[in-house]
Chain A
Amino acid sequence: MSSMKNPRIIGTIAVIILLGLTPLAFAQENYAMRVITVGMCAAIAVYGLNIILGFTGQLNLAQGGFFGIGAYGVGLLTTDYDWSFWAAFVVSVIGTAVIGYLCGLIALRTKDEYFAIFTMAIGFIIFLVISRWEPVTHAHSGVNNVKFPEGGGLIDFESPVAIFYLVFAILLICVYTTYAIRRSSVGRTLLTIRTSEDLADAIGVRVGFSKQLAFAASAVFGGVGGGLYATVVGFIGPDAASIDKTFEFLMFILVGGMGTVAGPLLGSMIVTFLFELFQDFQAYRFIVLGPIIVALVIFAPRGIVGYLGGFVDKRNRRRRAEEARGPDDDLDSTGASTSGGTGDHHARNIADGTESGAGRTGDTPSSEETK
């Protein structure tokens, strides 16, 4: 198919291959392997966030909480109850799905900022439960010696490389699922909701139901990421479920690019790397990192992938649009080609964002009397 020639897909595949090969370079470097593997666990949760935020446009601030539920599920079941990792993993993910679904039932009655803060409250309640429910979660003492996945005598997951590839494989599934969703009618459904719920409603989209599913799916990814995280790091404390985790995820997705296939992965890796890089500054690192975060958001608002993809898309669209209009429609094609040719050059200089304070047209579609 022609989509195979799409530079975005090529780029995504390149990133994945590169990542897949890192153990070759770093197999002996426990630290590097650890940072990358933990980063990939986060990336999985970020793919969840991508579904609800990137596709559906709902800012879910409970993702850290779901990550924590996954992590504690695996952590507690493999230690206090001595389950096998795999059983614990499956049960925790199902548990996260159920909790996510239930939270979604209420959460999705709210909209926009209310939804964001509502989910933030849910996330915080999850955190409080984990950090206060001593008898079950051991509160601040955390969960020690989380089991490694059982390799059934074939693979020894205690080896950093083996566990790397386990997480990597699951991450691949997430990336592919995201890709598949994006180009299917399911993805289109979610995207219509992001743009306008009213209009989506009008063309027969089951808005509530779809949002509900997206929310649950996002929670599931969070749980998967958390479950893997627990086994990778071996010890988990309440910080695994904290609101800081959520903001970390958000940072990853924003830097990478919301609603894109490769964005969450790239963002997770780059920001993780950036954070480690600045560790040498200790307490002062945020004097530098803070402004960097702000600058990234301002100057690359669509994230790295969005930024690169934007060029590709624009070019493709223009080419296709001109092709489509074709030569049979003389009047139109002349008009289009003049504006396409000269306008482009013009725009570069002017698109510096200093448009008049009022913003653009598309900003505030005057909402009609429709509900």
Chain B
Amino acid sequence: MTMLEIRDLGKRFGGLDAVKDVSLDVEAGQITAVIGPNGAGKSTLFNLVHGFYRPTAGTISFKGEDITHSSPHRTVAGGIARTFQTTNLFDDSTLLENVLAGRIVRSKSNVFDAVFHTPRHRRESRINEDKAMEALEFCGVVEYRHDLASNVPQEVQKRTAVAMALATEPELLLLDEPAGGIPEEETVDFGNLIRSLPQRGVSVLLVEHKMTMIMDLADTILVLDHGQKLALGAPAEIQSNPDVIRAYLGSTAQEEN
């Protein structure tokens, strides 16, 4: 099933086409990767899907519903979560509080429930706590839950960012360089975490510069260059695509082979 359908998407900044004529299908239960040189438009693409930016052309639909112009909180409520390229957490809060923040979008209780301590409020508090713990556990950082976000190592922060996104119960997760700042050698574990997402019913759209990881994880790869599609295909095809090698991979390609 096609989960996310992007058609002829475009975004202009002043005179620059950050994204242009991009079309992509993200299949349910798969990991789809987007790669490309710096400034190719990958993050911009994410921002468009997520609703941070308004597209200047094209359409996006999610599970058959048009979300081209929907605002971030709607997209999140609809089932798309994301992480940022630079890790972004609530620094002064503990990891648990961070992940609980991810539950906000699924909370129905309001001020009155809180004030009157209604059953709904209590039930929801419990569920939120459970789900947050589960997400932390899933991402392998549960033992840090009472540490402040600013005090834990980068990898833990990166994992927490994923946990926070998972806490919103997404069906599609956009990961923007989730392993940035993690040494290449240590990304295997992180890769395993991402690999296990589809089994949870979470499809993944992934941006990463770590080729070992991408080649290992991705079912389909979209290569962007100057905002436009350079190539689209399975990892093996991409890896040997001369255009991709010239524009993006460089000699690493040979090494991997």
A-side interface residues toward B, CB under 8 Å?
A: 176-177, 180-181, 183-189, 191-192, 195-196, 198-207, 217, 317, 320-321, 323-326, 329, 332, 361-362, 365-366, 368-371
**Chain B residues with Cβ under 8 A from A205's Cβ?**
73, 101, 104-105
The A-B contact count (CB < 8 A) is: 133
Q: Of A184, A196, A201, A329, which is within 8 A of B121 by CB?
A: A184
Interface contacts beyond A199-B88, A200-B101, A202-B52: sample of 15 additional A-B pairs, CB < 8 Å, sorted by A: A180-B115, A185-B100, A186-B114, A188-B97, A191-B101, A202-B50, A203-B102, A204-B76, A321-B146, A324-B142, A332-B143, A365-B86, A369-B43, A369-B47, A371-B47
* In the bound complex, CA of A189 to CA of B104 (Å): 7
B-side interface residues toward A, CB under 8 Å?
A: 43-44, 47, 50, 52-53, 72-73, 75-77, 81-82, 84-86, 88-94, 97, 100-105, 107, 109-111, 113-115, 117, 121, 124-125, 128, 142-148, 150, 164-165, 167-168
**Chain B residues with Cβ under 8 A from A370's Cβ?**
43, 47, 52, 84-85
- 15 residue pairs bridging A and B, Cβ less than 8 Å apart: A181-B111, A187-B114, A191-B101, A198-B88, A202-B88, A204-B72, A205-B73, A217-B111, A317-B94, A320-B146, A321-B147, A324-B143, A324-B146, A362-B91, A371-B52
Most chain-B CB neighbours within 10 Å: which of A176, A187, A200? A200
B90 nearest in chain A by CB position: A195
Task: Give the interface SS of chain A, mostly helix, strand, loop or mixed.
Answer: helix
**Chain A residues with Cβ under 8 A from B73's Cβ?**
201, 204-207
* Beta-carbon contact of A195 and B92 below 8 Å: yes
* Beta-carbon contact of A188 and B113 below 8 Å: no
Q: Of B101, B142, B146, which is within 8 A of A188 by CB?
A: B101
* Beta-carbon contact of A184 and B113 below 8 Å: yes
* In the bound complex, CA of A370 to CA of B102 (Å): 19
B121 nearest in chain A by CB position: A184
Closest approach, in angstroms, between the C-beta of A100 and any C-beta of chain B?
A: 15
**Chain B residues with Cβ under 8 A from A185's Cβ?**
100, 103-104, 107, 109, 114, 124-125, 128
**Chain A residues with Cβ under 8 A from B168's Cβ?**
203-204
* In the bound complex, CA of A321 to CA of B97 (Å): 13
Closest approach, in angstroms, between the C-beta of A84 and any C-beta of chain B?
A: 27
